[in-house]
Structure 1
């Protein structure tokens, strides 16, 4: 199957600049393509995943992807899709972010695959060396203000105002495409649909520079992926705790797994098509399973497995599944301290210095019960669980046997209220 047919079947193409021309170009060449990622944080998040995985899909089809890290453009900030200007970071911060993102990309793309090995480039390499006068003379002259004002990324900001700094971003991204075309013979740029104006501006710059140099007309293309929306109206990639990051120190593999397994039934098949490499025969089987037995949540588990394995590896997936199973079954003593840290990251946590403490005193000191009288009632009524086991002994004294790896005790009050006690 042609790579464009597969992408269309998965719903991954929003726009192309020339569908027939690109189709032929991909058939006749090992195409070098790129997508850019500005280092606005020390980690990418799942909102970046679709274009990253697009690069991977093209690589699997035999083409050559470039992951462009915006060490230069990251100093400016892309106005696309934003209503306010970004805060500017120092060069040192941007450089640190760039290195972290490069490592993450290396975990997804294959940088050791012969002719079509992925390449990581940083646009600071050319943007930091060009002078302002050179840029205005050699690049700026090819952009009319009217042309730039008509682009959505600029037009949408005019009412509230846009600085010259952000206004110039389009020229910088266009310069990226020109440099990658000249240095790597990169002929295709991909990105989110909000990048359409920047992509087409880059194509126009290449054509104008080629005409100026009296060279043959360049055959370059643009392709965008759709911006992801959720059926319930909430923003994709956001949870109550904020963004879902690819860095396991910012979003643990268990939290990452839980994000995907909790996908809305209305979205799960679409997300399987978008984000996984599952073949269509299996996708159809999962869609049938969802229709026939939605309560089993088979497609949700498959999606969570594929995504957690892709980003964090097999061991992290096994750990996330172990935590999930333990929380569902209540068999919490099966977990080690590191797994408890992951699984109970967001529950109330209390540090207790006294290792010899009665259950009644613990419930009060940790704020689980408001008074000793209430604590006794809770225990007698069977509402208190220690590490998943109900305890109805009012006189119970906590011992080392009640602590997991001598560090944690998990108290549950009622059906769902968990508390993590640290000794």
Structure 2
């Protein structure tokens, strides 16, 4: 007999024993191996499911919410060139593709380029003209295209359906989360680019949708109308006209209900609505939401607008955790490709040497939060002043000279 296979994850294997011959519940039941990510399915989820779209988009949007600071760009010329040529926008789009498809490539196009010249390396003196972003799903990789771990050519599908070869020197790769090298069933695309961030949340998002649909169905069908009509069986047993008489009577009852909310009934007829009460639904829905939050690593208050406990409380801890996630993501996946592109743009278009930059803040204090922080700073400085550790002139010079500063230093 052919062994049946069911799809399950590592956690399910651990709980049920599936996937281990010595622990299987049935001798013909084995866990289905990893089959790779279905990018078409993930793309549909991203378009149709607002939570899936937020998982994909919110991290890159937060990462580039505030402008970067390019080291060595004193007058802001390089940064203006980055915005005018669409480099910052291209990086954000590539970040969204990375979380949706596992990776992306940013293709740099130069002056006097055409579709035929993309297969050749750029000239050393050509200025950057624009950037194009392609997701990992539109890049066709073949094992014969690689020399070691690096591809000799990138093949992409354009909007007109035509496939073009692009030289690697024109491409900046945005990698995703690397798949374990011992995992079987990983496609060449995932081995090179990485796995999508949305993949980890796919099943929990579908479970949440099923829970929501079940709750809606239960709420819709919670009331059952019960008609007890006298001599109803005798009416149905009449030859030829019994069924018609019953249909007319029920139609009359429905008509009266839709018109003025009344019911026609005989002396011994009865009419009642049987309602069903459901308990525990908020808890089940909360658990499903918690699973989506855990799989996506995005806190509940950021992803769903409420805390994990469902109580009215501040989300300061969630904001901090989300900020750490964004900082880790952009430092690990985006910084080095972005620094390379900025350095090339500064050299070619601005004749400047700028190879490093600093990220903008993830969060900015509101006016109320700034005032509260300044009040706390003033109380702290007053303590040092009363101790004699610092004088008023040092406080004025450090904190209020040419604007406000959080740093306080004292010269010998």
What interval of TM-score do these two structures reach, taking the shorter chain for normalisation? under 0.3
Q: Which has the bigger relative contact order, CA under 8 A and spacing at least 6?
A: 2
Q: TM-score, normalised by structure 1?
A: 0.24
Greater gyration radius = 2
- Relative to the length of structure 2, the TM-score reads 0.25
